[in-house]
Structure 1
Amino acid sequence: MRKKSKNKNATKNEHIKQSVETVYFDVEMKKKPYSKISIYKPKIDGKVTLKKRWHVYFYWRDENTGKFKKKFQYQKGINRYKTLKEREAVAKSLKQAIESALQRGWNPVTKNIASSKKINRKSITLEKALAYAYKILEANKAEATLNGYNFHLNRFKDWAYKNGYLGLDVKDFDIDKFYEFWDFLRFDYVNQKTKKGLSGTSINNHKRSLSSLFTILQDERFIPLNFIKQVPKVDQEPVNNKAFTVKELDDIKKYILKNDPYLLHFLRFMIYPILRPIEICRLKVGDIDIENFFLSVKTKTELLSYRRLIHKIKPTLNEMQIDKYPANYHLFTAEGKPAEWNGAKLKSRVDHFSKRFRDIKNELGYGRYYSLYSVRHTAILNLYNSLVDKGMGEQEILFKLMPLTGHRSVSGIKNYLRKHKRSIPADHSDIYTLDI
């Protein structure tokens, strides 16, 4: 029987009013007002040139529409330098200076620093300290990455509020109190829809996100030590996103052709160019080069990755008739054809296709260990096994798969295969000397 942990904090922090029955807890994070800061390096014939003027630029968010609208660019003496190395170094320094000013509240529209009270590092609540750490974090992370941090932070803050810790001085929130949250994740949390607890992978991801924030608090001298690093990970082999067999994938294909044929185009982009769902949702018509038969897209490891469009994807491209649509249209949308889909966030677009696939795999009886990502795993393992059947050695296979999967190192693709591959050794009867 699971032992329920007692609430040791019923009398603590009496300044925090508890009303768990009726309280609405809003932990939504505000979007930062500026975009990524970038260095403009002009080119001539595809090469960076010193003959044209460089600058550092970013975009400012419109308060009414919430979209990035006004562009700001600064030179500040960059172009006085006559060598590529010097100019790049000065441009980088200017970029860092601008980023630091923006993080501290500088508003390029009003030319003023946003008015704010001086942070008291000697006494600050857990809630305010985490908000400060998140503000620093969001300046250096992509939107897709921040979604994960948001999710884990919100769950922690919700738990901390209900247990009377959110208003506690951050220095008084120690490792023993964090272990109460750790026990909550491991033993007490139950998903209201699935009626199941969290997987080991999910629990460890909570730790990773919170540890990043507490490291910032340590660096900023709010706390003496990030004690979350001392908490051992949950020792559990992840089983989500299992690969399908060839027959299972064929059964899924037949079902999709009858019930959601447009989704099959999406799956083919996971299988043949071996893209992730988020990468497919980034694709626009203009990213597909039909003449030279390749595509370009921002991936997990590269700002711009080029993938070969093999012949097996040609039927999909012909059926989608992408040459009829403007280059700025998203390739995959909720309309079942290329269209503008700028109104929805990237995560929402990915969730749309994930749900469509989830409905199908649930209908066919595949459980929680399978997801849209399983299709990509199936493709990579199929390539691996095909090369094994051709007699290739492991190292040769790894080097051949690296440019296809987008992994940037042999260790990366090797770890990926170790995580997802389930191999059965060959019959070893011939090496036995026992006969009983």
Structure 2
Amino acid sequence: MKKLEAGYIPNSDNSSLKSNSSPSTAVDKKDTETILNKVEQPAKAVKKTTTAAIASTIKEEPSTSIQEAFDFALKIKKQSLSPNSYSGYHGPLKQFEKWLEDNEISDIKAITKKTVVQYLNSVLARTSPRTRNNARTSLSAIFTTLEDNEIIEDNFIPKIKPLSTKPTRNKTFTPKQESNLEAYMKENDKLLLSFVQFISLCFLRPIEVCRLKIKDIDIADKKIYVKAKNKKVKIKIIPEILLNLLPDLSSANPEHSLFTPYKIGGEWDIPERDKRNYYSKRFKKAKDNFNLGVEYGLYSYRHTYITKLYREMRKELNPSETRSTLLGITGHSTLSSLEKYLRDIDAELPEDYSEFLQPSTINKVQNG
């Protein structure tokens, strides 16, 4: 159509039209390229601008250091736990933090399941399966707090299996062992002997003695108020034998600890668990003099004296009466728990059965 409008005649000489049409074609082509360039350049500019805008909005989250994350988790725990429970997290976590630092791991998100497994293996190598399992439990609780606060995506520690353990029960002392230890403490560590006497004569657990404050000892009423694990406070009598061993506490500060590293009655502001560990290590120095192994500890005194009391009571009472009387003394919550405890420490022993094994007796049995 454009050719016809320009004067093109079919089957005729149209050479005169070529010179006129060429500039037009060239102009059209040049105009087209110009238009395309104008379109492409803004499009490229828009593309670059859009990419830059998206990049600026997608900012990488700043990494959280291990120290920051752990300090935050400990702060949360400290607000919700007792000082004794809190110390069970603080120590293991700081040990893990030190191990991570030694292994040049600084970002909380760089900690993987494999990392924790390697650390727990190092704990196992230098301690025991039980200590390794305790470390696993403490770290898992901390990592749950980090997950709840979206510092990490997932707490994978529960997927790490605990190891099977064989708990070591403290053995009862023999009369000779007890006598040797008492003589040593009288000579070298009278404060430790006083600590042991509270365990032995009041049938307390070592950590319960560590919890005692001056105000918990009522000399006039012969009562002792003990913070136990199974209820807030339990009341026990102070036997006369222990009252005679106590120093005068009338002028002592009621809020002070009953036992400190240096004396009865004073300030000792550390977690109960650390107090117990301190006296356990102090007792170890005494027992090492008699080559007593890990199966003997402060808890052995509780076993020893409950066994003594049970056997003395059995001389006058039957087993059922003895257990019922003992229940109010030992602090066990139920009769069944006391019975299991007595079985575990072998408090009940049979009478000598030698007469049944004499040859004459055996022959009578065999002959009917």
| Structure 2 residue 319 is the aligned partner of structure 1 residue 392 | yes
Structure 2: how far apart are the matches of 1:121 and 1:385?
69
The number of residue pairs the alignment matches comes to: 297
Instruction: Show the counterpart of 1:175.
Output: 113
RMSD of aligned residue pairs (Cα, Å): 3.8
Matched, 1:304 2:239: no
CA contact (8 A) 2:170 2:300 kept: yes
Query: What residue number does 2:259 align with?
Result: 332
Contact 1:121/1:222 (CA < 8 Å) preserved in 2? no
Pick closer, same or farther for the CA change 1:279–1:226 going to 2, 3 Å.
Answer: same
Q: How does 1:33-112 map to 2 (within 5 A)?
A: none
Letter in 1 for 2:292: Y
Aligned ranges 1:213-228 → 2 under 5 Å: 213-228=142-157
CA contact 2:215–2:254 (8 Å) conserved in 1 = yes
Corresponding position: 1:291 with 2:220: yes
Q: Give the CA deviation at 1:162.
A: 1.9
The Cα shift of 1:209 comes to 0.9
Q: Which of the residues 227, 242, 246 maps onto 2:175?
A: 246
Q: Which amino acid aligns with 2:258?
A: L
Instruction: Indicate the percent of aligned positions where both proteins have the same amino acid.
Output: 28
**Can you give the 5+ residue segments of structure 2 that lack an aligned partner in the other structure?**
1-59
Residues 1:382 and 1:231: Cα distance change in structure 2 (over 3 Å):
farther
Query: Superposed, which structure 2 residues align to 1:79-228 within 5 Å?
Result: 124-169=64-109, 172-187=110-125, 189=126, 198-228=127-157
Higher relative contact order at CA 8 Å, sep ≥6: structure 1 or structure 2?
2
The residue type equivalent to 2:345 in the other structure is K
Q: Judging changes above 3 Å, is the alpha-carbon distance between structure 1 residues 412 and 230 closer, same or farther for their aligned structure 2 residues?
A: farther
2:89 maps to a residue whose letter is: Y
Residue of structure 1 equivalent to 2:197: 268
Query: Is the contact made by 2:256 and 2:268 (CA closer than 8 Å) also made in structure 1?
Result: no
Q: CA deviation at 1:269?
A: 0.7
Per the TM alignment, residue 392 of structure 1 is displaced from its structure 2 partner at its CA by 1.8
Q: State the shift of 1:324 in Å.
A: 5.9
Quote the Cα distance in structure 1 between the aligned partners of 2:273 and 2:151. 33
Quote the Cα distance in structure 1 between the aligned partners of 2:150 and 2:107: 19
- Pair 139,201 (structure 1): closer, same or farther in 2 beyond 3 Å: same
Give 1:160's aligned amino acid.
Answer: L
Any gaps of 5 or more consecutive residues in structure 1? Answer: 1-119, 190-197
Counterpart for residue 421 of structure 1: 345
Name the CA shift for 1:387/1:222 in 2 (closer, same or farther; >3 Å).
farther
Q: How does 1:227-242 map onto structure 2 within 5 Å?
A: 227-239=156-168, 241-242=170-171
**Letter of the structure 2 residue corresponding to residue 214 of structure 1:** F
Go from structure 1 to structure 2 and tell me whether the alpha carbon gap of 1:138 and 1:408 turns closer, same or farther (over 3 Å shift): farther
Give, in angstroms, the shift of residue 205 of structure 1: 1.1
Residues 128 and 292 of structure 1: is their aligned pair in 2 closer, same or farther, counting only changes over 3 Å?
same
Over alpha carbons, which structure has the higher Rg?
2
- Cα offset, 1:218, TM superposition: 3.2
Structure 1 residues 425 and 410, CA gap change in structure 2 (3 angstroms): closer
Write out aligned runs for 1:7-46 (5 A). none
Residue in 2 aligned with 1:279? 208
CA offsets 1:147-193 (integer angstroms, 9 cap, x no match) = 22222112211122222333241xx5332222212222223x3xxxx
CA distance change for structure 1 residues 388 and 334 in 2, over 3 Å: closer, same or farther? same
TM-score (norm 2): 0.66
Give the match for residue 22 of structure 1.
none
TM-score by length of 1: 0.57
Query: Structure 1's 153 and 352: CA in aligned 2 closer, same or farther, altered over 3 A?
Result: closer
Q: Deviations over 1:43-100 (max 9, x none)?
A: xxxxxxxxxxxxxxxxxxxxxxxxxxxxxxxxxxxxxxxxxxxxxxxxxxxxxxxxxx
**Native 8 Å contact 1:277 1:350 kept in 2:** yes
Question: Which amino acid in the other structure matches residue 167 of structure 1?
Answer: D
Distance 1:218 1:413, change over 3 A: farther
Give 1:186's aligned amino acid.
Answer: L
Structure 1 residue 231: Cα displacement:
2.2
Shift of residue 359, structure 1, vs aligned partner: 1.9
Provide the residue aligned with 1:365 in structure 2.
Answer: 291
Sort the Cα spacing of 1:121 and 1:301 in 2 relative to 1 into closer, same or farther, 3 A: farther
Instruction: Tell me, yes or no, if the aligned pair for 1:126 and 1:168 is still in contact at 8 Å.
Output: yes
Inter-partner Cα distance in structure 2 for 1:368 and 1:276? 17
Deviation readout 1:122-155 (Å, 9 max, x if unpaired): 9544443333222211112222222222221122
Distance 1:241 1:407 in 2: 18
CA distance in 2, matches of 1:262, 1:179: 42
Partner of 2:4: none
2-structure distance, mates of 1:416, 1:217: 40
Q: CA deviation at 1:294?
A: 0.7
In 1: Cα distance, 2:135 partner to 2:214 partner: 37
Query: Does 1:321 pair with 2:248?
Result: yes
Letter in 2 for 1:374: S
How far has the Cα of 1:270 moved from its partner?
0.8
How many Å apart are 1:365 and its aligned residue? 2.0
Letter in 1 for 2:296: Y
Higher helix share: 2
Larger mean Cα displacement after TM superposition, 177-186 or 348-357: 348-357
Deviations 1:303-353 (A, max 9, x none): 333111123323213xx23346564554334444x4432566656655554
* Amino acid corresponding to residue 173 of structure 1 in structure 2: I
Q: 1:161 to 1:402 in 2, by over 3 A?
A: farther
- 1:21 is aligned to none
Conserved in 2, the CA contact under 8 Å of 1:333 and 1:341?
yes
